[in-house]
Amino acid sequence: MKKIVYRNVLAEAGVSGADLEKRTWECFEAIFHGPDRFYFEAGPDMAYIEDTGNLDARTEGMSYGMMMCVQLDRKEEFDRLWKWVMTYMYMTEGENSGYFAWSVSPEGVPNSHGPAPDGEEYFAMALFFASHRWGDREGIFDYSCWGRRILRTCLHKEDSGRGRNMWDRENHLIRFVPELDFTDPSYHLPHFYELFSLLADPADRDFWKKAAGASRSYLRRACHPVTGLSAEYAAFDGEPFTGMRDVFGRHDWHYSDAYRTVANIAMDYCWFGAARGESWQKEIAGKVRKFFLETVAEAPRGIYTVDGTALEGKALHPVAITATLAQSALASDEPLSDGALRCVRDFWETPLRTGERRYYDNCLYMFALLALGGNYRIY
């Protein structure tokens, strides 16, 4: 693997190193320990991240919290979160044994006995990074062992005759949930799969290498050729998924989940694409920025079909849009274009969100801050 240069886009936009460090730790304290936090300690050695809009703990948020902690070298908070996950989310019985219940009450009671694959992939990556930063210990703190174990379950659940794999082993694409054959474009993390191809069980490493390539191809299909927008849920051919509205509601539009897609594409460019001279990530990121800066520039952040048609209603997470648009600047040329620079400066001038919906926005804000400052790194 070639040496990675972690680009400091905020410095390119005129932010000093001292100001970046100050903002980073202010955001960490706000999320984890301040009066508006959504990290809550539970007893002497556990803690959970609360989705403040839904009043539960989700594998999404728990794994996000763990990734923030390992990036910032906060081992105590990481271990507290991981122990809560293993105490209340890890399933040992039923067809989903070996997976994690995606939604659990703050008291530790599962709201569902089904998993969400984005949690598993973030858990595994955070655990591998923890192993490399802090070293493996015993039990659940044998981080690398658990990272490999999670990925093994994700690929080989069907071998047990109970449950389904999280990845389709034929097309190498992640499923929205194991039992359904469609996906969520924002779940696709080819930059993680590249690393899994080095860190997973040796027998599975070829699969993960192919999964990285398959997800890159998929993202190019799933992002609209003009706007660059992706849907929340999409079929394996990349078309927005219009089915099962009686179960899930509408998700064929560019809405909350979908904001993460361009940020993930930018991270793939930062970690791997730039060194290979790839350009597709820059093209998609540029289209998304153009859509928000030019096509809907004067309108409040809203809801859109992937072709850019505005629908009724406002975005539930406008700060998340600001954060991911800024993060998209990682996939851009140097020096920053006027559009990329505008997005980065807009982000820097935007505070963390307050109120009941602050969880999702502020998680994506923190990831953008780390990434744009060159501090979202491979360990």
Q: Which residues are catalytic?
A: 60, 257
Tell me the H-state helices in the chain: 9-12, 17-32, 59-71, 75-88, 117-134, 143-156, 190-199, 205-222, 245-248, 259-268, 274-276, 280-290, 318-327, 338-348, 358-372
Q: At what angle do helices 59-71 and 17-32 cross, to 10 degrees?
A: 140
- Asked if residues 305 and 253 have their Cβ atoms less than 8 Å apart, the reply is yes
> Hey, is 335 helix, strand or coil?
coil
CB proximity list for 346: less than 8 A, separation 6 or greater: 322, 325, 326
> Hey, is 181 helix, strand or coil?
coil
- Asked if residues 301 and 367 have their Cβ atoms less than 8 Å apart, the reply is no
Spatial CA neighbour of 43 closest among 86, 91, 81: 81
CA distance 109 to 379: 33
Which structure tokens are listed for 148?
């490999």
- Asked if residues 48 and 42 have their Cβ atoms less than 8 Å apart, the reply is yes
- Asked if residues 192 and 150 have their Cβ atoms less than 8 Å apart, the reply is no
Q: Exposure string (b/e) for 38-47, b if CB count within 10 Å is 16 or more?
A: bbeebeeebb
Spatial CA neighbour of 58 closest among 123, 11, 14: 123
